[in-house]
Structure 1
Amino acid sequence: MIQRELLGTAQVPGGEELRLYRHDRDFMIVLGHNELMSTRKWGSEEALATMSYERIRHAKRPHVLIGGYGMGFTLRAALKVLPDDARITVVELVPEIILWARGPMAEVAQGCLDDPRVTLLMSDVAPFISGAQGDYDAILLDVDNGPDGLVREENNVLYSPSGLRAAKRALTPDGVLAIWSAGADPAFTRRLEKSGFAVDEVKVAARSNGKGAKHVIWFASTRQ
Protein backbone atom coordinates (compact mmCIF):
# COMPACT_ATOMS: atom_id res chain seq x y z
CA MET A 1 0.00 0.00 0.00
CA ILE A 2 1.39 3.38 -1.04
CA GLN A 3 1.65 5.80 1.88
CA ARG A 4 0.95 9.51 1.63
CA GLU A 5 4.24 11.46 1.75
CA LEU A 6 4.53 14.90 3.33
CA LEU A 7 6.59 17.11 1.00
CA GLY A 8 6.33 20.47 2.73
CA THR A 9 4.48 22.83 5.02
CA ALA A 10 3.64 26.51 4.77
CA GLN A 11 2.23 28.98 7.26
CA VAL A 12 -0.61 31.09 5.87
CA PRO A 13 -0.12 34.71 7.08
CA GLY A 14 -2.80 35.22 9.70
CA GLY A 15 -4.05 31.68 9.21
CA GLU A 16 -3.25 28.02 9.68
CA GLU A 17 -0.64 25.67 8.27
CA LEU A 18 -0.84 24.24 4.78
CA ARG A 19 0.62 20.81 4.05
CA LEU A 20 1.66 19.48 0.64
CA TYR A 21 1.36 15.71 0.25
CA ARG A 22 2.16 13.29 -2.56
CA HIS A 23 0.33 9.99 -2.91
CA ASP A 24 1.68 7.90 -5.76
CA ARG A 25 1.56 10.37 -8.70
CA ASP A 26 -1.00 12.72 -7.15
CA PHE A 27 -0.49 15.84 -5.04
CA MET A 28 -2.83 17.42 -2.53
CA ILE A 29 -2.71 20.58 -0.42
CA VAL A 30 -4.40 20.20 2.96
CA LEU A 31 -5.51 22.71 5.60
CA GLY A 32 -6.38 21.02 8.88
CA HIS A 33 -8.81 18.26 7.91
CA ASN A 34 -9.78 19.99 4.65
CA GLU A 35 -8.25 18.96 1.33
CA LEU A 36 -8.16 22.33 -0.41
CA MET A 37 -7.01 21.05 -3.79
CA SER A 38 -5.76 17.92 -5.47
CA THR A 39 -4.45 16.76 -8.82
CA ARG A 40 -7.19 14.10 -8.75
CA LYS A 41 -9.96 16.64 -9.38
CA TRP A 42 -9.62 19.95 -11.10
CA GLY A 43 -12.52 20.26 -13.53
CA SER A 44 -14.29 23.06 -11.67
CA GLU A 45 -11.05 25.03 -11.26
CA GLU A 46 -10.60 24.92 -15.04
CA ALA A 47 -14.24 25.94 -15.51
CA LEU A 48 -13.61 29.01 -13.37
CA ALA A 49 -11.36 30.27 -16.18
CA THR A 50 -13.07 28.94 -19.29
CA MET A 51 -16.60 29.93 -18.29
CA SER A 52 -15.38 33.37 -17.24
CA TYR A 53 -13.78 33.89 -20.64
CA GLU A 54 -17.06 32.98 -22.34
CA ARG A 55 -18.55 36.00 -20.56
CA ILE A 56 -15.80 38.47 -21.58
CA ARG A 57 -15.03 37.02 -25.00
CA HIS A 58 -15.52 40.37 -26.77
CA ALA A 59 -13.14 42.31 -24.51
CA LYS A 60 -10.12 43.81 -26.30
CA ARG A 61 -6.76 42.93 -24.72
CA PRO A 62 -8.53 41.40 -21.72
CA HIS A 63 -6.98 41.80 -18.31
CA VAL A 64 -7.77 39.00 -15.86
CA LEU A 65 -6.96 38.99 -12.15
CA ILE A 66 -6.61 35.56 -10.55
CA GLY A 67 -6.69 35.51 -6.76
CA GLY A 68 -4.82 32.40 -5.56
CA TYR A 69 -2.48 30.29 -7.72
CA GLY A 70 -3.31 27.02 -5.94
CA MET A 71 -2.06 24.26 -8.21
CA GLY A 72 -2.33 26.41 -11.33
CA PHE A 73 -5.35 24.70 -12.89
CA THR A 74 -7.24 27.97 -13.33
CA LEU A 75 -4.20 29.78 -14.71
CA ARG A 76 -3.38 27.05 -17.23
CA ALA A 77 -6.98 26.95 -18.43
CA ALA A 78 -7.00 30.75 -18.79
CA LEU A 79 -3.81 30.65 -20.86
CA LYS A 80 -5.39 28.13 -23.23
CA VAL A 81 -8.44 30.28 -24.02
CA LEU A 82 -7.21 33.86 -23.68
CA PRO A 83 -5.75 35.61 -26.74
CA ASP A 84 -2.06 36.32 -27.19
CA ASP A 85 -2.47 39.98 -26.19
CA ALA A 86 -4.27 39.20 -22.91
CA ARG A 87 -2.81 40.07 -19.52
CA ILE A 88 -3.15 37.83 -16.49
CA THR A 89 -2.22 39.05 -13.03
CA VAL A 90 -1.86 36.24 -10.51
CA VAL A 91 -1.80 37.24 -6.84
CA GLU A 92 -0.63 34.56 -4.39
CA LEU A 93 -0.23 35.13 -0.67
CA VAL A 94 1.84 32.09 0.33
CA PRO A 95 5.42 31.97 -1.07
CA GLU A 96 5.70 28.20 -0.61
CA ILE A 97 2.80 27.66 -3.04
CA ILE A 98 4.99 29.09 -5.80
CA LEU A 99 8.08 27.24 -4.58
CA TRP A 100 6.10 23.98 -4.76
CA ALA A 101 4.91 24.90 -8.27
CA ARG A 102 8.47 25.41 -9.42
CA GLY A 103 9.81 22.46 -7.42
CA PRO A 104 8.05 19.13 -6.74
CA MET A 105 5.01 20.14 -8.82
CA ALA A 106 6.91 21.56 -11.80
CA GLU A 107 5.50 18.87 -14.10
CA VAL A 108 1.98 19.85 -13.04
CA ALA A 109 2.67 23.58 -13.52
CA GLN A 110 3.84 23.02 -17.11
CA GLY A 111 5.70 26.33 -17.09
CA CYS A 112 2.50 28.38 -16.86
CA LEU A 113 4.06 30.98 -14.55
CA ASP A 114 6.68 31.75 -17.21
CA ASP A 115 4.16 32.64 -19.91
CA PRO A 116 4.81 36.26 -21.03
CA ARG A 117 1.15 37.13 -20.49
CA VAL A 118 1.46 36.36 -16.76
CA THR A 119 2.49 38.75 -14.01
CA LEU A 120 2.94 37.07 -10.62
CA LEU A 121 2.57 39.17 -7.47
CA MET A 122 3.22 37.82 -3.99
CA SER A 123 0.61 39.57 -1.88
CA ASP A 124 -2.91 39.60 -0.53
CA VAL A 125 -5.37 39.99 -3.40
CA ALA A 126 -7.78 42.26 -1.47
CA PRO A 127 -5.71 45.48 -1.81
CA PHE A 128 -5.37 44.93 -5.57
CA ILE A 129 -9.13 44.79 -5.85
CA SER A 130 -9.89 47.69 -3.53
CA GLY A 131 -7.28 49.89 -5.21
CA ALA A 132 -8.50 49.26 -8.77
CA GLN A 133 -10.95 51.28 -10.84
CA GLY A 134 -12.23 49.58 -14.00
CA ASP A 135 -8.92 47.76 -14.42
CA TYR A 136 -10.05 44.15 -14.87
CA ASP A 137 -12.30 42.42 -17.35
CA ALA A 138 -12.55 39.46 -14.99
CA ILE A 139 -11.66 38.76 -11.37
CA LEU A 140 -11.36 35.05 -10.56
CA LEU A 141 -11.25 34.17 -6.87
CA ASP A 142 -10.33 30.75 -5.51
CA VAL A 143 -8.62 31.59 -2.23
CA ASP A 144 -10.96 29.69 0.09
CA ASN A 145 -13.34 26.74 -0.13
CA GLY A 146 -16.25 29.15 -0.50
CA PRO A 147 -17.33 32.69 0.35
CA ASP A 148 -15.86 32.69 3.84
CA GLY A 149 -12.36 33.06 5.26
CA LEU A 150 -11.54 29.37 5.66
CA VAL A 151 -7.85 29.77 4.87
CA ARG A 152 -7.58 32.91 6.99
CA GLU A 153 -10.09 35.19 8.67
CA GLU A 154 -8.91 38.30 6.81
CA ASN A 155 -10.27 36.82 3.56
CA ASN A 156 -13.82 37.47 4.80
CA VAL A 157 -13.49 41.03 3.53
CA LEU A 158 -13.52 39.72 -0.05
CA TYR A 159 -17.06 38.40 0.39
CA SER A 160 -18.42 41.23 2.52
CA PRO A 161 -20.71 43.94 1.08
CA SER A 162 -17.81 46.41 1.06
CA GLY A 163 -15.52 43.86 -0.61
CA LEU A 164 -18.09 43.09 -3.29
CA ARG A 165 -18.63 46.79 -3.98
CA ALA A 166 -14.86 47.16 -4.35
CA ALA A 167 -14.81 44.27 -6.82
CA LYS A 168 -17.59 45.90 -8.82
CA ARG A 169 -15.59 49.15 -9.04
CA ALA A 170 -12.47 47.22 -10.07
CA LEU A 171 -14.21 45.67 -13.08
CA THR A 172 -14.80 47.13 -16.52
CA PRO A 173 -18.41 47.96 -17.48
CA ASP A 174 -18.86 44.48 -18.98
CA GLY A 175 -16.66 42.70 -16.45
CA VAL A 176 -17.35 39.60 -14.39
CA LEU A 177 -16.48 38.54 -10.86
CA ALA A 178 -16.18 34.73 -10.61
CA ILE A 179 -15.96 33.01 -7.24
CA TRP A 180 -15.34 29.28 -6.75
CA SER A 181 -16.97 27.36 -3.91
CA ALA A 182 -17.17 23.77 -2.73
CA GLY A 183 -20.91 24.22 -2.20
CA ALA A 184 -23.92 26.50 -2.48
CA ASP A 185 -24.54 29.50 -0.25
CA PRO A 186 -27.93 31.20 -0.82
CA ALA A 187 -27.09 34.04 1.56
CA PHE A 188 -24.01 34.89 -0.48
CA THR A 189 -26.02 34.84 -3.70
CA ARG A 190 -28.36 37.43 -2.17
CA ARG A 191 -25.37 39.49 -1.02
CA LEU A 192 -24.04 39.60 -4.59
CA GLU A 193 -27.41 40.74 -5.88
CA LYS A 194 -27.70 43.43 -3.20
CA SER A 195 -24.25 44.66 -4.27
CA GLY A 196 -25.61 45.40 -7.74
CA PHE A 197 -24.45 42.32 -9.65
CA ALA A 198 -26.43 40.20 -12.08
CA VAL A 199 -25.74 36.72 -10.73
CA ASP A 200 -25.44 33.41 -12.55
CA GLU A 201 -24.85 30.53 -10.11
CA VAL A 202 -23.52 27.46 -11.93
CA LYS A 203 -22.93 23.94 -10.61
CA VAL A 204 -19.81 22.36 -12.09
CA ALA A 205 -18.44 18.83 -11.73
CA ALA A 206 -15.30 18.56 -9.62
CA ARG A 207 -13.66 16.24 -12.15
CA SER A 208 -12.92 17.06 -15.77
CA ASN A 209 -14.83 13.96 -16.90
CA GLY A 210 -18.04 15.36 -15.42
CA LYS A 211 -18.10 12.91 -12.52
CA GLY A 212 -17.73 13.41 -8.79
CA ALA A 213 -19.11 16.05 -6.47
CA LYS A 214 -20.60 19.27 -7.77
CA HIS A 215 -18.94 22.57 -6.99
CA VAL A 216 -20.43 26.04 -7.40
CA ILE A 217 -19.16 29.06 -9.30
CA TRP A 218 -20.86 32.44 -9.02
CA PHE A 219 -20.49 34.59 -12.13
CA ALA A 220 -21.43 38.11 -11.07
CA SER A 221 -21.72 40.55 -13.97
CA THR A 222 -21.43 44.31 -13.63
CA ARG A 223 -23.97 44.96 -16.38
CA GLN A 224 -27.53 44.15 -15.36
Structure 2
Amino acid sequence: MMETATIMERAAGRLGELALRAVGDHYEVISNGVFLMDTRNGESERLLVRLALRHKRAGLRLLIGGLGVGFSLAEALRSNLAECVTVVEIEPKIIAWNRTFLASCSGDALSDPRVELVNEDLAVWLRRNEGPFDAICLDVDNGPAWTVADANGALYSDEGLALLSERLKPGGTLTVWSAAEAQNFEEALRLAFDKVEMVSVPVPRGEPDVIYVASRY
Protein backbone atom coordinates (compact mmCIF):
# COMPACT_ATOMS: atom_id res chain seq x y z
CA MET A 1 0.00 0.00 0.00
CA MET A 2 1.25 3.46 -0.91
CA GLU A 3 1.94 5.72 2.07
CA THR A 4 0.00 8.96 2.28
CA ALA A 5 2.01 12.18 2.00
CA THR A 6 1.05 15.03 4.31
CA ILE A 7 2.24 18.57 3.64
CA MET A 8 3.65 19.91 6.91
CA GLU A 9 4.56 23.36 5.63
CA ARG A 10 4.96 25.38 2.45
CA ALA A 11 7.12 28.46 2.08
CA ALA A 12 8.39 30.88 -0.52
CA GLY A 13 12.14 30.28 -0.65
CA ARG A 14 14.85 32.42 -2.18
CA LEU A 15 15.07 30.04 -5.14
CA GLY A 16 11.38 29.16 -5.43
CA GLU A 17 8.65 27.38 -3.47
CA LEU A 18 9.67 24.88 -0.80
CA ALA A 19 7.44 22.23 0.73
CA LEU A 20 8.08 19.80 3.58
CA ARG A 21 5.95 16.70 3.53
CA ALA A 22 5.72 13.71 5.85
CA VAL A 23 5.48 10.24 4.34
CA GLY A 24 5.17 7.57 7.00
CA ASP A 25 8.07 8.03 9.41
CA HIS A 26 10.09 10.14 6.96
CA TYR A 27 10.20 13.65 5.58
CA GLU A 28 10.69 14.88 2.01
CA VAL A 29 11.70 18.33 0.83
CA ILE A 30 10.20 19.46 -2.47
CA SER A 31 11.62 22.44 -4.36
CA ASN A 32 9.58 24.08 -7.12
CA GLY A 33 7.49 20.91 -7.33
CA VAL A 34 10.54 18.65 -7.78
CA PHE A 35 11.77 16.14 -5.19
CA LEU A 36 15.00 17.41 -3.63
CA MET A 37 15.87 15.29 -0.59
CA ASP A 38 14.44 13.01 2.09
CA THR A 39 15.33 11.35 5.39
CA ARG A 40 15.08 7.71 4.27
CA ASN A 41 18.72 6.74 3.82
CA GLY A 42 21.48 9.35 3.91
CA GLU A 43 24.37 6.97 3.25
CA SER A 44 25.75 8.99 0.33
CA GLU A 45 25.44 12.26 2.29
CA ARG A 46 27.44 10.74 5.14
CA LEU A 47 30.00 9.26 2.76
CA LEU A 48 30.42 12.71 1.21
CA VAL A 49 31.95 13.80 4.52
CA ARG A 50 33.90 10.63 5.26
CA LEU A 51 35.66 10.83 1.89
CA ALA A 52 36.51 14.49 2.45
CA LEU A 53 38.01 13.77 5.87
CA ARG A 54 39.92 10.58 5.14
CA HIS A 55 43.67 10.93 5.73
CA LYS A 56 43.01 14.23 7.55
CA ARG A 57 44.19 15.16 11.04
CA ALA A 58 42.22 16.56 13.94
CA GLY A 59 41.78 20.31 14.29
CA LEU A 60 40.74 20.91 10.70
CA ARG A 61 38.37 23.47 9.27
CA LEU A 62 35.51 22.05 7.17
CA LEU A 63 33.01 23.77 4.91
CA ILE A 64 29.69 22.14 4.03
CA GLY A 65 27.77 23.76 1.19
CA GLY A 66 24.11 22.87 1.61
CA LEU A 67 22.54 21.84 4.92
CA GLY A 68 19.99 19.38 3.52
CA VAL A 69 18.35 17.30 6.24
CA GLY A 70 21.49 17.46 8.37
CA PHE A 71 23.03 14.04 7.60
CA SER A 72 26.36 15.45 6.37
CA LEU A 73 26.70 17.86 9.27
CA ALA A 74 25.98 15.10 11.79
CA GLU A 75 28.66 12.90 10.18
CA ALA A 76 31.20 15.72 10.32
CA LEU A 77 30.59 16.28 14.01
CA ARG A 78 30.66 12.55 14.74
CA SER A 79 34.17 12.25 13.27
CA ASN A 80 35.62 14.65 15.90
CA LEU A 81 38.27 15.76 13.36
CA ALA A 82 36.79 19.19 12.73
CA GLU A 83 37.51 22.04 15.08
CA CYS A 84 35.04 24.19 13.15
CA VAL A 85 32.31 23.17 10.68
CA THR A 86 30.96 26.04 8.60
CA VAL A 87 27.60 25.29 6.97
CA VAL A 88 26.34 27.64 4.26
CA GLU A 89 22.63 27.30 3.40
CA ILE A 90 20.74 29.76 1.23
CA GLU A 91 17.20 28.87 2.32
CA PRO A 92 16.06 30.15 5.75
CA LYS A 93 13.22 27.61 5.80
CA ILE A 94 15.62 24.66 5.41
CA ILE A 95 17.47 25.97 8.46
CA ALA A 96 14.20 26.38 10.38
CA TRP A 97 13.08 22.84 9.54
CA ASN A 98 16.45 21.50 10.72
CA ARG A 99 15.74 23.09 14.09
CA THR A 100 12.22 21.61 14.28
CA PHE A 101 10.85 18.77 12.13
CA LEU A 102 14.28 17.51 11.00
CA ALA A 103 16.26 18.06 14.21
CA SER A 104 16.18 14.38 15.17
CA CYS A 105 17.78 13.39 11.83
CA SER A 106 21.05 15.07 12.81
CA GLY A 107 20.84 14.77 16.58
CA ASP A 108 20.14 18.52 16.69
CA ALA A 109 23.55 19.14 15.13
CA LEU A 110 22.94 22.86 14.64
CA SER A 111 23.17 23.29 18.40
CA ASP A 112 26.75 21.99 18.51
CA PRO A 113 29.21 24.79 19.45
CA ARG A 114 31.59 23.70 16.67
CA VAL A 115 29.05 24.71 14.02
CA GLU A 116 29.15 28.08 12.29
CA LEU A 117 25.91 28.55 10.34
CA VAL A 118 25.72 31.00 7.44
CA ASN A 119 22.41 31.80 5.75
CA GLU A 120 23.65 32.98 2.36
CA ASP A 121 24.26 31.99 -1.24
CA LEU A 122 27.42 29.87 -1.21
CA ALA A 123 28.93 31.32 -4.40
CA VAL A 124 28.47 34.88 -3.13
CA TRP A 125 29.93 33.99 0.25
CA LEU A 126 32.96 32.28 -1.28
CA ARG A 127 33.78 35.31 -3.43
CA ARG A 128 34.48 37.30 -0.27
CA ASN A 129 37.73 35.33 0.14
CA GLU A 130 36.43 33.13 2.95
CA GLY A 131 38.77 30.29 3.90
CA PRO A 132 41.04 28.52 3.49
CA PHE A 133 39.54 25.14 4.38
CA ASP A 134 41.06 21.72 4.84
CA ALA A 135 38.03 20.18 3.14
CA ILE A 136 34.86 21.32 1.37
CA CYS A 137 31.74 19.17 0.96
CA LEU A 138 29.35 20.41 -1.72
CA ASP A 139 25.76 19.13 -1.69
CA VAL A 140 23.73 21.80 -3.44
CA ASP A 141 20.52 21.03 -5.34
CA ASN A 142 20.55 17.62 -7.08
CA GLY A 143 24.18 17.96 -8.12
CA PRO A 144 25.88 19.26 -11.26
CA ALA A 145 23.82 17.35 -13.85
CA TRP A 146 20.33 18.31 -12.70
CA THR A 147 19.73 21.57 -10.87
CA VAL A 148 16.20 22.47 -9.84
CA ALA A 149 17.22 26.14 -9.42
CA ASP A 150 19.19 27.53 -12.39
CA ALA A 151 21.21 29.83 -10.13
CA ASN A 152 22.89 26.82 -8.51
CA GLY A 153 24.57 25.90 -11.78
CA ALA A 154 27.22 28.57 -11.21
CA LEU A 155 28.81 26.49 -8.45
CA TYR A 156 29.47 23.66 -10.88
CA SER A 157 30.84 25.85 -13.67
CA ASP A 158 34.54 26.30 -14.48
CA GLU A 159 34.49 29.57 -12.54
CA GLY A 160 32.79 27.93 -9.57
CA LEU A 161 35.29 25.06 -9.48
CA ALA A 162 38.21 27.49 -9.68
CA LEU A 163 36.75 29.42 -6.74
CA LEU A 164 36.31 26.24 -4.68
CA SER A 165 39.87 25.18 -5.46
CA GLU A 166 41.20 28.56 -4.34
CA ARG A 167 39.41 28.22 -1.00
CA LEU A 168 41.18 24.94 -0.19
CA LYS A 169 44.48 24.67 1.60
CA PRO A 170 47.29 22.82 -0.21
CA GLY A 171 46.48 19.14 0.22
CA GLY A 172 42.81 19.98 0.69
CA THR A 173 39.90 17.92 -0.60
CA LEU A 174 36.64 18.82 -2.32
CA THR A 175 33.80 16.28 -2.38
CA VAL A 176 30.71 16.86 -4.54
CA TRP A 177 27.40 14.99 -4.21
CA SER A 178 25.46 14.20 -7.37
CA ALA A 179 22.19 12.37 -8.03
CA ALA A 180 23.78 10.76 -11.12
CA GLU A 181 27.00 10.59 -13.09
CA ALA A 182 27.92 13.90 -14.72
CA GLN A 183 30.59 13.30 -17.33
CA ASN A 184 31.02 16.91 -18.42
CA PHE A 185 31.35 18.00 -14.81
CA GLU A 186 33.93 15.30 -14.13
CA GLU A 187 36.00 16.51 -17.09
CA ALA A 188 35.84 20.09 -15.78
CA LEU A 189 36.81 18.85 -12.33
CA ARG A 190 39.91 17.14 -13.73
CA LEU A 191 41.02 20.42 -15.29
CA ALA A 192 40.65 22.30 -11.98
CA PHE A 193 42.17 19.74 -9.58
CA ASP A 194 45.22 17.50 -9.43
CA LYS A 195 43.44 14.24 -8.63
CA VAL A 196 39.80 13.21 -9.16
CA GLU A 197 37.95 10.06 -8.10
CA MET A 198 34.32 9.05 -8.69
CA VAL A 199 32.55 6.91 -6.08
CA SER A 200 29.20 5.26 -6.88
CA VAL A 201 26.81 4.74 -3.96
CA PRO A 202 23.90 2.27 -4.43
CA VAL A 203 20.52 3.53 -3.24
CA PRO A 204 17.30 1.60 -2.47
CA ARG A 205 15.54 3.00 -5.54
CA GLY A 206 16.78 4.31 -8.88
CA GLU A 207 20.29 5.01 -10.15
CA PRO A 208 23.21 5.16 -7.70
CA ASP A 209 24.20 8.44 -6.13
CA VAL A 210 27.66 9.64 -7.10
CA ILE A 211 30.35 11.39 -5.08
CA TYR A 212 33.22 13.14 -6.80
CA VAL A 213 36.42 13.47 -4.77
CA ALA A 214 38.91 16.11 -5.96
CA SER A 215 42.23 16.95 -4.31
CA ARG A 216 44.85 19.67 -4.50
CA TYR A 217 48.53 18.92 -4.07
Shift of 1:205: 2.5
Give the TM-score normalised by the residue count of structure 1: 0.89
Q: What is the deviation of 1:35?
A: 2.0
User: Is 2:177 the counterpart of 1:221?
Assistant: no
Asked if the contact 1:43/1:205 (under 8 Å) is kept, the reply is no
Structure 1, unpaired ranges of 5+: none
CA distance in 2, matches of 1:50, 1:82: 12
Q: Which has the higher contact order (CA 8 A, sep 6+)?
A: 1
Runs of 4+ in 1 over 4 A off after TM superposition: none
What are the within-5 Å matches in structure 2 for residues 81-96 of structure 1?
Answer: 81-83=79-81, 86-96=83-93
Which consecutive unaligned segments of at least 5 residues does structure 2 have?
none
Matched, 1:4 2:5: yes
SS in 2 for 1:116: coil
Q: Deviations over 1:41-87 (max 9, x none)?
A: 211011011111114x13x521111111110000001111133x611
Q: Closer, same or farther in 2 for the Cα pair 1:111/1:196, shift >3 Å?
A: closer
| Equivalent position SS for 1:166 | helix
Paired residue secondary structure (1:176): strand
- Give the corresponding residue for 1:17: 17
Residue of structure 2 equivalent to 1:154: 151
String of CA shifts for 1:94-139, please: whole Å, max 9, x gaps: 1111111112223223120011110111111112323336511111
Aligned length: 216
Match of 2:115 in 1: 118
Q: Residues 103 and 109 of structure 2 are in contact (CA less than 8 Å); yes or no, is this contact kept in structure 1?
A: no
RMSD over aligned CA atoms reads 2.0
Q: Provide the secondary structure at the position in 2 that maps to 1:86.
A: strand
| Residue identity in the other structure for 1:131 | R
Alpha-carbon spacing, 1:177–1:22, altered in 2? closer, same or farther (3 Å): same
d(CA) in 2 for partners of 1:152 and 1:34?
10
The DSSP-based 3-state class of the residue aligned with 1:36 is: strand
**Comparing 165-174 and 142-151, the one that deviates more:** 142-151
Counterpart contact for 2:63–2:133, Cα < 8 Å: yes
**Match in the other structure for 1:169:** 166
Distance in structure 2 (CA, Å) of the matches to 1:78 and 1:218? 17
Partner of 2:52: 52
TM-score of the aligned structures, taking structure 2 as reference length: 0.91
Q: What pairs with 1:191-206 in structure 2 (closer than 5 Å)? A: 191-206=188-203
Residue aligning to 1:27: 27
- Partners of 1:69 and 1:192 in 2: CA distance: 23
Contact 2:13 2:92 in 1 (8 A): no
CA distance in 2, matches of 1:191, 1:42: 27
**Structure 1 residue 212 displacement after superposition:** 6.6
Check conservation: 1:45, 1:74, Cα contact below 8 A.
yes
Mapped partners of 1:133, 1:9: distance in 2: 32
